[in-house]
Structure 1
Amino acid sequence: MSTPRRLSQLLVTSHIGLILLFALLLLATGVGTIRAAVVGQARTEAERAVSEARTRLQEWRRELTVAADLLAEHPTLIFYLERGQVTKTRELVADFHSNSDVDYLRVEWDGRTLAVAGPEPPAVQTGLAFDENGTAWQVLRRGIASQPRASLVLAEQLGTRLMAPSGGELLDVRLQPPMSSPNPADDPWSSALYRVSESGEPATVENMGGAAAARIVSLRDSSGTTRALLSARVRMDWVQRRILEWLAAFGGSVLATFGFALVLATFIAKRIARPFAQLAGEAERLGGGDLLTPIPRPETFLAEPAALAASLEQMREQLAELTAAERRQRDELDAILDGVDEGIAGLGADDRIHYANRQFLQLTGRTRDQVLGHRLDEILFPINSTAATDGLPPAERYRAASAKWPLIVRRLGGGAHRVIVVREENAYEVARAMRDRILANLSHEFQTPLSAQMASIELLRDHLKQGSDRVALRLADAQFRGTIRLSQLVENLLESVRIESGEMRLRQQPVDLASVVEEAIELMQPLVDQRDQRVVADIQPGPSVTGDAQRLLSVVVNLLSNANKFAPDQTVIRVRTQWGAKWVTVWVEDEGPGLPPSLTAHDLFAPFRRAPHEEPSQRGTGLGLAIVHAIVAAHGGKVRVESSGQRGGVRIGIVLPHGETDAHSDRR
């Protein structure tokens, strides 16, 4: 299981993660754009460098023109030339050459050289020229106005004049002679120079000649002939430096944004998480049992914490009211349970006692601390117990260490939580136990001879049916009917003992209810025939019912016996099954006098309860409907009693679940 995180930490982490993710996405998608933009800047830089270089070349030419004008107008030079003083002229030229930036100076008279100073430039009349080393020269020829026969020739080397004022280490500006053919032919840079030389049109190229971008222009004379090529190349280092500068700026902005976002996210996260943390603390306090302190409304701009606080406060008030009501009810229940004469104890799933009233402590002779938390078998010990393995059965006899009399224990409920009721065995209990034992013994003793007698009478009836002695046959039938009724009375007595002692256990098997009803009708047919009654059956087959077939047969037999007993002679007894989605009802309807007004539902299903002045001559024990009610309830069903309407009589139905049932295999 992962470690729980605080809400503020999650909010801050999510905000920072989103910012970093956005920065990475921006960087990943913008690298190509950045490089293209930087290369575009390199193109612009190359074009700017070429433009500045052309400006510097023009300035270079103007400087040479100014120097030529100064020398041509020099009065001393004019004076020497007028008088033909060659030596003085040569001294003046040498002095002017040493004190100026002019690399070459020559004075001519009628085409012959009078004075010369400096290295010889390329043989060209005027304009740009290149020597054998590829060095560029600017050559200027100027006449002297006052001496038409004299002229001046001045020349300067290019030198460092093309170097840019700044960024020269990343820019390469060159002036070179035009190319008559690419050399070598497969060199892209040489080819580009050749194309510009031939066409005279400027060109801007990229990633060529070891440069990220380059600009090539041609310099032409007045006749339109290309005299030189001027190129400016931006090195790859310039692009890399610009990209690094941009990345550094981007990183700085990301760091600044990150810091600002961290501060902002921390502030917002604290404001968002603070009310939830406060409510979590209040909920923890509420869960700890503090129901008296109100839940304060958190100071926040969010609607959810305020609504949650209101809900918690409402829940606290309801819990406080319920707790107070429960405490009052528990106090009342404790007072009631402490006031009863029987001991009551609550058991958990492991048979440990978690509640005991005052009478239970007195009966066991122990204190509350000696009882609570202990197992029941440590407090009570069975006397000839026939308890089942799953727990204490009802109405069992037990003893306690300090009790003078045996204790009668009954267990109520089931599952994980149970309740036992304990009382001392008194004279009434002894008499009732003796009665139950006597009834059980008598019932068992009567069942064997009655069964043998019924078998003998059935054989006798079969024998008499083959003869002509009708009187003997009627006597045998009467004897058989009496034996059936006596067997039913004995079975009811035995069943009542089982029910009252809690030892009635049900078999859980699929039962064909229609077959059970038909068997009961067949069994009761002799008694029905005796009173000239008729059974009209409408029995529909259906799903099986889970239960005890023998006891369900006893239920239907008892219902038919009641109808036979209370209905007049020559009447109809109707039996019908009614199937529903989850329940099946077996109706037994007679045409008797109906239920007496004085008989309540409690009296109807109570054992040994009869109305002698309203009961027919066939008086019974008053156990039939009590047994019916107990068996049907043990099967998870119920008994319905209705009036038959216009025909009079009583309509009794047993309602049972079919398919899956809630009845248990050890229902008692």
Structure 2
Amino acid sequence: MPHKQAWNGVEDQYRLLARSIQDLAIFLLDPQGMVTSWNPGAEQFFGYREEEALGMPFSGLFTAEDIEQGVPEQELQTAQGKGRVSGNRWLIRKDGTCLWVKGTTTSLRDEEGHLRGFAKICHDLTERKRLEEALRNADRRKDEFLAMLAHELRDPLAPIRNSVQVLRQPGTAEADVQRSLDLIDRQVRHLNRLVDDLLDVSRISRGQLRLQKRPVELPTVVAQAVETCRPLIDAQHHQLHVDIHPVLQVRADPTRLTQVLVNLLTNAARYTPEGGHLRLALEQSGPEVVVRVKDDGIGIRPEMLPHIFDLYNQAAPEWHHSQGGLGIGLTLVKRLVELHGGRVEAFSDGPGRGAEFVVQLPHLQEIPMGETRPEPGEPLPS
């Protein structure tokens, strides 16, 4: 009897200590693994109130796969034999969501060595696990991007090298000389665009890109973007329909806004099979100007839509670098649009169903085209 009273006193002290700790889940189990105490930290971690948890088998916190493999029983057996067992694993909350915990299970014995139960302590590492996985994914995407970058930079070099060899040959026909020069010019411009995109992403990431904003008529920007993309669109035998609202204005950097539309049109042309249909439309929606670029191309898988604008991400194997580009054009679109105070979204009904990109910008009203307003922080004109 004295031993039992002593044990009960120790157990009561343990419960009092556990109740004072809220950043750890601490609970006791009987020798069969049933919960006999449940501290506020455990309630916060797992979502069960104390009255719900008491008498519950602690195996109910494990994943179905772990239960099927007998992990809860193995944990208690190991703790009973070795005194304690520790490890990291996924456990299940009351609402069915998972949390990644570092857990330690310790066997509890009285002075005579009889097993009286177990103490379980859990530390929630879910956020750390999420950050670690995010870092690993970022590293993986960066490695894939660097491999893609090497491929994209190397590909134009072979035709340039071949053209140089042609030009070095004495007596080369004038037509061959012109073809070689045209090819070199195209490849150099392609390399220049790649480098420009990389520099733009770097400048934006470091907050060093400065916009030269002024009142801009959107139809003019659209016309410039279409003219830039026309060779690619024609080469793919696409049909482009442009629906323009004639009086829409925004306050923007016209060069950068043209870059946004060029990237969206280029993206649509590249990822639409030959002979496809593209549409660019301008409209006003309340205080905003809406630009829509739609295609009937390869589409985007639903699970990839939230990541379509991520840096180093090309959204799907179908969007492979064999189509050209580094997969950073959409990243530039999003960041440039946000620098203009707008937002951009992507929509698709799935693979083979095409895609639509929607840009929304603040509508500029009642400002004459010759007038400019200073950006925040800029000095007023004297």
Q: Normalised by the size of structure 1, how large is the TM-score? A: 0.28
Compute the TM-score of the two structures, normalised by the length of structure 2.
0.47
Which of 1 and 2 has higher RCO (CA within 8 Å, sep 6+)? Answer: 2
Larger Rg: 1
